[in-house]
Structure 1
Amino acid sequence: MALFNPVADLKPFKTMWRVRVSIVRLWKQYSVAGGLTIEMVVIDPNGDKIHASVKKELVNQFDQLLEQGRTITLTNFSVNHSVDLPGRLNGFTPVGFRQVLDGSLNPDFLIDLIGHVVEVSHVEMISVNGKDTIIKRYKLHLVVFDNTGTSKFILFDHLARKLLNQPCIELTGPLAEKDPYLLPLALLNLIGKTYLFKIEILRENFIYKHDTFKVNKIMTDLDVISEFVSPNPLKGSLMLMSEGSSQQRDPSDLTPAKRRGGPDVNLDEEPYLNSVTKSGITTRIKKEKHDKSG
């Protein structure tokens, strides 16, 4: 088997070359002088790259054989002097994974890794010393209500920590394993408290009518919350409640943040309250005739 020449050894004025390279970039271009040509950037096993061109006379012959990402063998080709570019080009310099792991590379340079995403998950698997470590992620489901009704919110780990003043992972333990329906004390302490939530209405909520909304921000400052608490039934902060609670509350026991809205109005019976109606309440005016005195 004949040996392959490294890209670094290629020189002009010789055509008896034999290289094995991979095509990292391939495109076609047209110019008045050269016509339609195939342009490539190829790389050899040593990581050395070179630009290669297929002239217009040979495009039809090699067009079906050349493909980006394919490894090919090139023989009997000519090498020309490269022309300096007007500016500096930045690109990737691939290295082997073994060189990254054994620490043989220069530690003063940063190494970028190019990979293919095969899965997205909240559970992260990390291999350390040949062992897999699972990092658990948690989310918190809340049932909240204000003076307009109830809703369901979901908080992810970083926001739940602000609400609980501790990581969610600390809420798990032997108690949660024995009885998963028994809430930890930190969650029970949230029931009845008032907070200000900024939520995100996602595509699932708008199109598929999902009734659980993602929380983007939480405000626990009482001064800020008090600015949003209003007797207006369309405004107000949200209060946490235990899920499944169905006890009736006396209206006199409700705080301004919990006050219910006014009675429902049937728009069919009161057409002037319909938002589609252009005109408001109309009043008939009786016209009287006055005789002019002579």
Structure 2
Amino acid sequence: MANTPAIGYKFDDISEINTSKDAWAVVATPIRLWVVPSFSGKKLPYSMELVLMDAKGGKIHASVRQSLIYKFQPLMNEGRVYQISSFGVEESRGDFRTTGHGYKINFQFSTSVRLVKDLPINRSPYSFMPLSDVALNNPDSYYLIDVMGILTGYSEELEFEKDGKKNKKMTIEIEQDGVRMECAFFGNYVAEVLGQIAAGDKNNAVIVIQLAKIKPFRGKISLQNAYGSTRILFNPDVEGANSLRQRFLEAHEPAAQVLNHLPNSGKISVSDDFLKRHWGKTVEQIKNMRANLKPSQSFSIPLEHNRTIEHNKQNALLATGSWGMRAWILESEVCLRPPW
């Protein structure tokens, strides 16, 4: 581990990274680093994930596969600066994209990671989206976002069962310049959030949620945590926090500054999320539309995120849901199947 970048070595801006060449090298800091647990219940984690940022503010997602976690996890910490080179690059896909970059980095066995001490990156790790934009402008829910607001309410802990396993949920409400929005937390996040509320000054507290997932449901936009990537901070020392609190205090009478008790409605079913969020056509409507088609004909309907749904007599794809779930009409049968 070297303390200085290689002399005379040319480093690339993160914003320039693509698949046009193999040799890339960046100087960047992990602004978020987390380990994804095994989905099969095994002790070994599934992967290590990072969000890297360079001195110009460019951000890109990076992944370390299971077999290489032992090699890179001891070398990297959030907030420190590293020279990283000899990594793979691929297009960024999926429903949980941590940056707007069109590509992502994959660490390989040959990837080099060197600590850099004399090139600090003194930039905010957050890219805050105003709650008004989240609520009114229908942002792409594939991308995780950073938000900031005043805590105005929270629910009690709720236990529920999903796929035979017990889980926990709680919800908070935040406000930013007159716009209020709920954010749901699941699993280990519940104890973390309730612990921070119990331990800190929760009255007019500034809340920062880093890498939150946008959840449109039944005409309402809310937020929730995304696996292990999301981070919630109470009264952090970040730019804009004090001015946000001051505007809130000026806009509300003291009586209105008391925290609301939010009802906890429990889990949202997969079928409700799939049908309400992504498409308004019923199965009967699709069948009627197909009835007038000849076997060689097909039709398509625009779907969000620049996708289309194509239909024909033999096999009609209805929609792609929150987790890549698909619905198919096969004669009179409707099947839902997950991407794995």
Going by fraction, where is strand more abundant, 1 or 2? 2
Structure with max Cα Rg: 1
The question of a shared fold, defined as TM-score above 0.5 by the shorter chain, is answered with no
